[in-house]
Chains A and B, each alone.
Chain A
């Protein structure tokens, strides 16, 4: 019995001198892995156009029915995204989402990406529905906000050539 106590205390003391693995959240934050599947973002091209073309493939792929997409026509005076259509309404219900990543896999333009924000807490259920306002990333430097007025015929393609992310 006595030896056990000594042994146990020995382990405790050993652990006392180890570097702690706990961190003082939320003052300190552990960086997440590059592939981490956190809150979604809707991406833009460098010129500020939205990547999302409103095809709703993500909504079809979503096992939890978390995504709601409504598409509208683009015109060259009011252009949101390349191609014919853009998502005029895009919502994800974060209470339904299971962060599986299928929407990201399904998207033909890599518009929706699961990014690194994992602190999702809400005061009521309505605010758990993220709309385009929260999801869309800010306009990059040098880009213009949407809708843009563009020269006719300059963005007829909706799925530009792309590289795969790591």
Chain B
């Protein structure tokens, strides 16, 4: 990546006349790039304009125009708003556009996802297979004309439930045990998947000339999906030479539920509780990102107290998440459960705050467009609320962090197992769209709370934590540092929060009039940049609802991180990336 000698101010349309045009649809922004120039324009965006980081890639099906669109969001590491550019392809036939994996490694999984869900091929992609669905799946599920088996209507509320006497119980139509349907001529008993065979053949190198293929002492092993240390139903296919990893490919989608399709059926507000279930360890952050994306379209102004409440909850959530992440990392390192439970003890207190305020410990559904749903309660666990939170923030959490540090940071076993393991160089971290602690542990000071401040983060004093080496140990340290910074933020929030005031912009509403247009809302979630790309066409439900899931994209680099290490290190490296399968598979 060549840094530009002088800042380029020339507009993209002038730089590439004829190939790039402004997106002029009302409510839209960014550029439309013609497909045959895409690689060239993307390279210029990266090298000349300085947008080194490809945050998000996603598809949209504009069925009325007969077009599929791929939307890219690129960011500068120095901060600022992201640049959005699009490519269009006809939706009939076999649409194909050039792949950007050569420009940004981070496009790898995301392009596969677009291919999987929209049937849009990316020419030049090194490994274009389905990623969330299985290889034999028929149809492209995110296309607007694809209907699920028990399709009822395009949007909720379904007429079968509401109102006008046309009601019937869906349970009666789809009797339990009889609600599985197969395509014509499909026999589940004789079905054999060749998707796995394809993958194994690829790993064995059967497409390569004879002398480059797998040598005889290498074997291919499956780890997962039923494996105690993969943090859920996640599977990796590993090529091993003895104990050493030669190659590794993640296989996912076991928890796929087509969250985005569900989201496009739901009304805008109904999606809020569903976002909790993406990264279920940080529900508050998920709520926040979605609220920001939609608020941008609606144009609501969040009242002061609500902003503080949001940050209070989100930062508490960050600590809860990192405690969990570190606890599990230690678990992965072989220290079974005990240290994790010490950390879980503190996390419980944070969850108590959520329970007392929002009514649930994890699936909080706390935020609404324009504010939050409830103010703090007067008491938590028979203590005054503010006393409880202040005590937690000022006394208990710092003490707990000190305890972790004395116990773990200089622990010889931890250091031997983690220093120099799974090193991610800064350059690759940026190019591969790593996010969150994974990126910052490689020495890249990129944190959306500073880089593109939202909510009230521009007023708060905190530091973006980085560590230089990019190994497992540094990721652990970055998480510890971030918790300390979060405590600092929380203290300021408690000090500055207005004692009372509105918590909603206007009345809390059910149906929202969302103007036409697109919006990309993003927050720095504990696991990295969580983005929501939403498109509205004025209907009560989103036309497009996409989640840029940090856990999913961070896995792009898992193969590279594990190469050369031992089998036992795969678990540790995976643990240090900190994934949640609810978000990976969506």
Contacts and interface: CB of A to CB of B under 8 A. Distances in A.
Contacts of B358: 35
B345 interface: yes
Contacts of B273: 63, 98, 100, 102
Contact of A67 (B161, B176, B267, B412): B161
A101 interface: yes
Contacts of B348: 21
A24 interface: no
A59 B157 contact: yes
B363 A102 contact: no
B255 interface: no
Interface in A17-70: 21, 32-37, 55-56, 59-63, 65, 67-70
B149 interface: no
Contact of B510 (A8, A59, A106, A129): A106
A62 B266 CA distance: 10
B374 A35 contact: yes
Contacts of A154: none
Contact of B406 (A7, A35, A60, A91): A7
Given A11-B403, A63-B266, A37 B359 contact: yes
Contact of B342 (A15, A55, A59): A15
B360 interface: yes
Contacts of B352: 33
A166 interface: yes
A93 interface: yes
B167 interface: yes
A65 B377 contact: no
Interface residues of A, number: 41
Interface in A99-139: 99-102, 105-106, 114, 125-126, 129
B361 to A, nearest CB: 9
Interface residues of B, number: 46
B411 A4 contact: yes
Given A8-B407, A93-B171, A60 B162 contact: yes
Contacts of A101: 359, 365
Contacts of A70: 167
B485 interface: no
Interface string B255-287: 000000000001101111110010000000000
Given A100-B273, A125-B176, A65 B170 contact: yes
Contacts of B355: 32-33, 35-36
Given A68-B161, A98-B273, A36 B167 contact: no
Interface of B: 156-158, 161-163, 167, 169-171, 176, 266-267, 269-274, 277, 338, 342, 345, 348, 352, 355-360, 363, 365, 373-374, 377, 380, 403, 406-407, 410-413, 508, 510
15 contacts: A33-B355, A34-B377, A37-B359, A56-B161, A59-B161, A62-B157, A63-B156, A67-B161, A68-B167, A68-B169, A69-B163, A101-B359, A101-B365, A105-B373, A114-B359
Question: What 8 pairs between A and B have smallest CB-CB spacing?
Answer: A63-B270, A100-B273, A37-B359, A60-B162, A60-B157, A35-B359, A33-B356, A56-B163
Interface of A: 1, 4, 7-8, 11-12, 15, 21, 32-37, 55-56, 59-63, 65, 67-71, 91, 93, 98-102, 105-106, 114, 125-126, 129, 166
